A = this chain, B = another copy of it.
Amino acid sequence: MGENMSEFSSQEKSGLYKAIYTRRDVRSHFISKPLSDEVLARILNAAHHAPSVGFSQPWNFVLIRDDVTKEKIKKSFEQEKIKSASDVDHQKKEKYLSLKLEGILESDVNICITYDPTKFGPFVIGRSSIPETGIYSVCCAVQNLWLAARAEGIGVGWVSILSIELLKEALSLPEHIIPIAYLCLGHVSEFAEKPDLENAKWLTRLELKDVIYFEKWGQVSNTDWEEMNGLIRNVLDYPFIK
């Protein structure tokens, strides 16, 4: 690979970080403008170029525009949301129920991303000791899709308040296929400045220093990592984020 391919200009670097920092889980801001197939193909190809354990590429993408299917999924969401409300602390329950948590019908395209453990199997390099790595690969494809969509100006929302059984039935998934992500894609009126749940003061963003340990679990400082220990207390979010 030539030098130009290897190095990133500062604008190219900006593009990657901008996608990472301005990506949002979109629920409220879908608009009716249809998603162009050309853009969708680019986004899907980006997802398909995710890393995968043993190069197994164990993902499939089921593209959904049919309202009958969307309605079934939406109904499952509603049932599961009510079920889950019983797990919420009394004082937060009303707030929980008032949150907008999906855009299944408002978004132009829904995509179910699935995991097929049989693809290129049974032996897949790197999957013997930790079989779950096949699923981890599919999640990396989801994140590629999400970032590519963001760069293309397309919003993505991940709906996880769903019955896996109903999803499999609605999409005719074979028994051995595991649905990993159900995504809603479409044009948006805006990308919110912060995640919806941060805006709603449901939870706050942790500081970077709160998720880093040195050498062993629980070690928040270490003489070999002194400079780093300072840096993670002062790291900036992407510069153009005000």
A219–B57 CA distance with the chains assembled, in angstroms: 19
The answer for the CA separation of A134 and B123 in the assembled complex, in Å, is 27
How many copies of this chain are found per oligomer?
2
Query: Is B12 within 8 A of A218, CB to CB?
Result: no
Instruction: Find chain B residues with CB under 8 A from A218 CB.
Output: 172
List 11 A–B pairs whose Cβ atoms lie within 8 Å, in order of A's numbering: A12-B14, A44-B232, A51-B143, A54-B202, A57-B203, A57-B205, A63-B213, A80-B128, A83-B128, A130-B160, A172-B218
**Contact present for A235 and B151 (CB under 8 Å):** no
Q: Which residues of B contact A148 (CB under 8 A)?
A: 16-17, 20
Q: How does the 8 Å CB contact mask read for A74-115 relative to B, with 1 for contact and 0 for none?
A: 000000100110011100000010010100000000000010
**Docked-complex contact B1 and A203, CB < 8 angstroms:** no
Q: Are B99 and A180 in contact (CB under 8 A)?
A: no
Q: Kindly list chain B residues whose C-beta atoms are within 8 Å of the C-beta of A122.
A: 87
- A183–B49 alpha-carbon span in the complex (Å): 19
Beyond A1-B22, A6-B22, list 17 extra A-B contacts (CB 8 Å): A1-B193, A8-B18, A8-B151, A15-B16, A20-B49, A20-B148, A41-B228, A41-B235, A48-B211, A53-B158, A61-B212, A62-B214, A64-B215, A80-B128, A139-B139, A140-B140, A172-B217
The complex places the Cα of A11 from the Cα of B5 at a distance, in Å, of: 14
Chain B residue contacts of A63, Cβ below 8 A: 212-215, 225, 228
Q: Which residues of B contact A55 (CB under 8 A)?
A: 195, 197-198, 202-203, 205
A21-50 at interface with B (beta carbon < 8 Å): 21-23, 25, 37-38, 40-42, 44-46, 48-50
- Check B202 against A62 for contact (C-beta < 8 Å): no
Indicate if the CB atoms of A126 and B213 lie closer than 8 Å. Answer: no
Instruction: Give the chain B neighbours of A150 by CB distance below 8 A.
Output: 16
